[in-house]
Structure 1
């Protein structure tokens, strides 16, 4: 397999240990500067014995804009890839991330009607209620883990509210989400299927019957009634609820946790954050956090025929991992890309992907962090590190699992 850089210079991108100290930005910088793509060997979840690591912004945009040539159906995120086209053998067949047009378009259209930016802006009052409730609880604590008490709680409650999940079931939903992410990292499709089966059973036996009896302004009601009208299938409706549960929680959980870690670890970033909010408003600052953090570090596509992209010959069924985290520091797009700079003019990052699969929940993720910043500022809520942050064990999500903090009086 031809590759433009010596494999010994690049860490194993399939090994979570590579990402344990942090995202390997130096290695990604070498890959961006090298013609073609880097071939990462692995027999796990690939048809041709490995995947191409795509790290340049322009190449990723080109690939994501052409789903006919670079498909999502065999799997949208390694190692949940090289999946069967047979629905009976593929537990992720009805997952929106694993669909291509036109099927993808029909499901996304239904979901977007209840989840687009114009709808999400009306979520402000009840999202603010959740944030205020969380802050009022931790105001009584002198020391706590910011991840457990804030970064996990806010998005889990928000997603549950969007889904229409009763408050009593919210923690169970979060537990299933975490279990699914752990299973994905072991490339155990059966384990992922077991988690999805549990949540599918919950939706089918408890949540959906209630929404059929008593429709409300939540995503479950929208999806299940769309299924009744034949706009999507029942399985597609259930699987979108599973996707919303996972993606809506984990991405925002990472954004909230990593942004606070950066603020607490770097006086320079803290100063730029607070000054940026005052001078620019919170949205520009949040966009820069998203670029800099890039919660979902990559997504995957599979070539449907022999082709050439980014100067690299690619075979049919080759897997391509699109490293958004590398592209978001591409100097061809971003000036001084390793610098945190809310005043930068280049704002079209790939934190939420691009093309037909651009994350449908991006407006909600940004709303949650904006409200959190606003409510913390109102309370002059100041923290300091109270121990070493602990990263997650993931090749996929830029995870942080623990952030010990203490109140500053």
Structure 2
């Protein structure tokens, strides 16, 4: 076998070199981005380096030479240059002619090739068939992290070639849904369990904690006929206390304002006969570690409490991760994601779930109380990520 290395500024140009030298039967063994030239590390040029090979045959030389000398008629458009994918497609299509062990071996090699190209944007998309390229772009648009993207695309590519590289878009979308469900179903989802008396919501300022708490409490009063009370520890903002008092008046439920742990214990005794007690905490700068410590001085985090961390989907992924790390000093049962109506990127839901191994309790879709909230299920979460309207 004849193996040679070629370098050019772009993939089409390097493929022209490969065909001119090795002919149409050449096979791409590997490709990567390289930087050449420059001065002391500056002004380097980005190129594509390709390793190509061909199995020489005594019958190949003459036809290749004739092909070079043949002129293309004016009325015939020149054939477009095949992509990197098309160069390996004949090899991959032959997989279905092999036994299962050979098939698994070849697929494993393809996965390694994919993994090797994840950090190379110029060739990352081109290694997938066109229908799967669209899926990859959608995953990127949803801001699903690269680790998840790589894993999902590897599974899709395996299914693609096991189905003879001829699956419909409908079938491919079904695969994507299945892959997302597999990841989401690993964790516990759903609203309050009704096994714990105290329901506590924590989170940074501006994520909609008080409104979310009121929505959940309203459902318990109206739908489940529970006897409910409110406790607020948000003594930093008068408006927050007044807001919760307004919700308490509408729902006809009592409310207590607690300034310290003693106040909290007294409120617990006062509401000992109630089914559920909802606790609203202060929304302060999440970067201040002392805030979480202050919570412990006001709230008795006992075994009979469910705690939900509220995060806004309009926040940056990095900020949400830092928020979780700050509040992880308190045991978090599940996550609540707000403001799904104010963004079109939902990949952070999957990212945080898989990173911190936590399920989702609720997704909120607006400001209306008691509406604009839905209990999270694996199907609802996947529909949100895929932007599927089920209403």
Normalising by the residue count of structure 1, what TM-score does the alignment of the two structures yield?
0.18
Normalising by the residue count of structure 2, what TM-score does the alignment of the two structures yield?
0.18
Higher RCO (CA-CA < 8 Å; seq separation 6+): 1
Report the structure, 1 or 2, having the larger strand content.
2
Report the structure, 1 or 2, having the larger helix content.
1
